[in-house]
Amino acid sequence: MIAVNEKRRGRAGFTLIELIVVISTTAVMIGLLLPAIQRGREETGRLKCKANIRKIGLALHNYETRNQKYPATLADAMEASGLPTNGEVDGYKASSYEVTRSGWKLAMNPLPGVTGHEVGHVMSLPTGTTRVEWKPMPGAAAGRAAMFAAVRAAAAVAVEELFSLPRTEAERKQVGEKVGREANDRLTVPEAFNALAGTDGRVSLASIRKVGTGTLSLI
């Protein structure tokens, strides 16, 4: 029993160092992947926005058929569409709703740089369908940069907390030296990529989430 405990203590010390190294390099890899992850997130948000636009268009067309007029306010239009009356849905916010001589129009605004970088300007057509024009969202680049900075700062804090785990200064120095060597090794990025990959060998938002929830082994 004593021998087993000694083995476990030795294994735990090795595991701690390796865990710090892997998590540190994984944090670096996530930082490199942020733009690609964000592009996927924005594309998903845009698809959801398009679906909501179709829902709004159909609902308002039906409303006009029944009442011979369109809803007077944005809240009324959202309620008729079965969406939140404040216009906030799936990372976008409806605004600038207006009943026009030929129908209605509104804008679908993303959270700049976070849920999207383009505003969808929607206008009804006499056929009961809608036309959407996508235009750049002011402040998107700054919003995206701020979000990336916040994510990287959070990763840095997490790594710093990991470095506080070793109990002695000598152990912390040992960990620091090993992380430094690993972080500058040319194989670090491929290894971090492998740590983030899913069972199919590909990195995706889902596989990164699995690493974050501990359902994939990091060591």
pLDDT per residue over 25-37, tens digit each?
Answer: 667 667 777 887 8
Split at pLDDT 50, 70, 90, the class of 166 is confident
Split at pLDDT 50, 70, 90, the class of 192 is low
- pLDDT reading at 71 higher than 60: yes
Q: How many Å apart are CA 196 and CA 144, to the nearest integer?
A: 22
Q: How many Å apart are CA 219 and CA 213, to the nearest integer?
A: 14
- Predicted pLDDT of residue 34: 82
CA dihedral 55, 57, 63, 67 (to 10 degrees): 180
Global confidence as pTM: 0.69
- pLDDT reading at 219 higher than 50: no
Strands 104-110, 88-89: pairing is: unpaired
- Predicted pLDDT of residue 10: 43
- pLDDT reading at 214 higher than 50: no
For residue 91, the one-letter residue type is: G
